[in-house]
Structure 1
Amino acid sequence: MVAENLFTLHVDDEIELALLEESFAREYSELVYTQLDYLSQWLTWPPYCQSEQDFRLFIQRSLEDYAEGKSLTCAIIYQNKIVGNCSLNDINHDLKRVKIGYWLSQEHTGKGIMTRIVRKLIDLAFTKYQLEKVELSAAVDNWSSRAVAERSGMILEGVISNSEKVGEHILDHAIYAIHRSDQS
């Protein structure tokens, strides 16, 4: 059960996004520990960020970036339980663009959670931050994340080869984007 958070965004009756706080570190470490193999398919950090202290440091850095206007990182609260993480990364006010990042525990995939969250983050980028472009990068073979981007109205802009090394694999990334002008 998640304690009341000073900054919470309501997504719908099942989902809230809570600005990270140090009290989340234990839940994050337990969640990642149980999801390590699953998360490590597409993400570089899980093998290196597993302890409660690792997550405390991550949360502190995330809050510093939030205070400096560089990012917004939130816990995904589904039915009053932390099930993942989402963020607006690399907020660039000069170029008026931002990148979305996220991860979700395997047991909560297939419920439309990420699509609802990405739509909320897109809306937030355009309304609160007054940005013009939102990007999402997904490994070419990560069909679930690519489907989230497409269901959220994002358009494939291209593929960047040799974009990231995850474990022993070098991944190509599909880059999706939506512009404020694309909104109806």
Structure 2
Amino acid sequence: MEPLLLDVPLQLETERLVLRAPLQTGDGDMVNQAIRDSFPELKAWLPFAQELPSVAETETNFRNAHISFLKRESFRFLIFVKETNGFIGTTSLQSIDWDIPKCEIGYWINTRHSGNGYMTEAVKELTIFGLNHFKFRRIEIRCESTNHKSRAIPEKLGFVLEGTFRNDDLSADGSKLTDTCFYSIIK
């Protein structure tokens, strides 16, 4: 399979959400505000959120995400609530191995919108999309063992906990070793 020849929709929809590829100028400003709104929670879990990025840095990151989308290296989607058209977070198919084929799903949500089931709904849609559209044979979700909110998502969606790798990674701030939970769903 030649990934560059794959037709990939720029938008997916669920009952309550729209998942859109980051391709509009100005996406960085909107995402940067969500990072600022959620900074303490994001900082605890994500290496990219150790310092507040500038709007220009966030815009650059999202333009690079669009390039990766076009190159079929990863597929990042911005998540919007249909009812309000408000941006709430991102989710992506990343670490793609087209030879297997398999990938990993990553995600984060604006803290103000957590606890409403939005991220579970978005990850469910992306999982179905990956398994059916790309025919991925395996989709993984990896998260720190103490990140219970993140772990709840694959557990609710029927992913299997394959194991916990002890001392597998560094904490987001790089200060200590952490354990990583590996979840997967296969087709």
| Shared fold per TM-score greater than 0.5 | yes
Structure 2 contact 77–91 (Cα < 8 Å) conserved: yes
Q: What is residue 71 of structure 1 aligned with on the other side?
A: 74
Q: CA deviation at 1:26?
A: 0.5
The code of the aligned residue for 2:67 comes to: E
Aligned to 2:4: none
In structure 2, what is the Cα distance between the partners aligned to 1:40 and 1:27? Answer: 18
Match of 1:50 in 2: 53
2:6 aligns to what? none
> How far off its partner does 1:164 sit?
3.0
* Aligned amino acid, residue 96 of structure 1: P
Residues of 1 paired with 2:111 and 2:36: CA distance? 12
User: For 1:141 and 1:110, how far apart are their aligned partners in 2?
Assistant: 17
1:34 aligns with 2:41: no
Cα distance in 2 for partners of 1:50, 1:76 equals 20
Aligned to 2:179, the other structure's residue is in SS state strand
Matched, 1:176 2:179: no
| 1:165 and 2:167 aligned | no
CA RMSD in angstroms, aligned pairs only? 1.5
Q: Work out the CA distance in 2 between the residues paired with 1:164 and 1:64.
A: 28
Aligned to 2:18: 16
- Deviations along 1:82-111, whole A, 9 cap, x unmatched? 111110001211021110000001111111
Instruction: Report percent identity of matched pairs.
Output: 22
Gaps of 5+ in 2: 1-8
- Residue type of the alignment partner of 2:183: Y
Secondary structure, counterpart of 2:135 in structure 1? coil
**1:70 aligns to what SS in structure 2?**
coil
Following TM superposition, by how much is the alpha carbon of 1:49 offset from its aligned partner in structure 2, in angstroms? 5.5
Give the Cα separation in 1 of the matches to 2:176 and 2:78.
Answer: 28
1:97 paired residue among 96, 102, 119: 102
For residues 32-73 of structure 1, what are the alpha-carbon distances to aligned partners after superposition, in whole Å with 9 as ceiling and x for unaligned? Answer: 112111111111101345211111111121111111111100
For residues 71 and 143 of structure 1, do their structure 2 counterparts lie closer, same or farther at Cα, with a shift above 3 Å needed? same
Deviation at residue 114 of structure 1 after TM alignment: 1.2
Question: 1:161 offset after TM fit, Å?
Answer: 2.3
2:144 touches 2:179 (CA, 8 Å); kept in 1?
A: yes
Contact kept, 8 Å, 2:38 with 2:112, in 1: the verdict is no
Name the counterpart of 2:113. Answer: 108
TM-score by length of 2: 0.88
Aligned equivalents of 1:26 and 1:108: distance in 2? 18
Which shifted more, 48-57 or 87-96? 48-57
Secondary structure in structure 2 of the residue aligned to 1:103? strand
Kindly state the Cα deviation for residue 169 of structure 1 after the two structures are TM-superposed: 3.7
Contact 1:25 1:55 in 2 (8 A): yes
CA contact (8 A) 1:75 1:84 kept: yes
Matches of 1:157 and 1:49, distance apart in 2: 34
What number of residue pairs does the alignment pair up?
A: 174
Structure 1 gap segments, 5+ residues each: 1-5
Q: 8 Å contact 1:164–1:171 — kept in the other structure?
A: yes
Which amino acid is 2:21 matched to?
Answer: L
Confirm or deny: 8 A CA contact 1:49 1:55 kept in the other structure. Answer: no
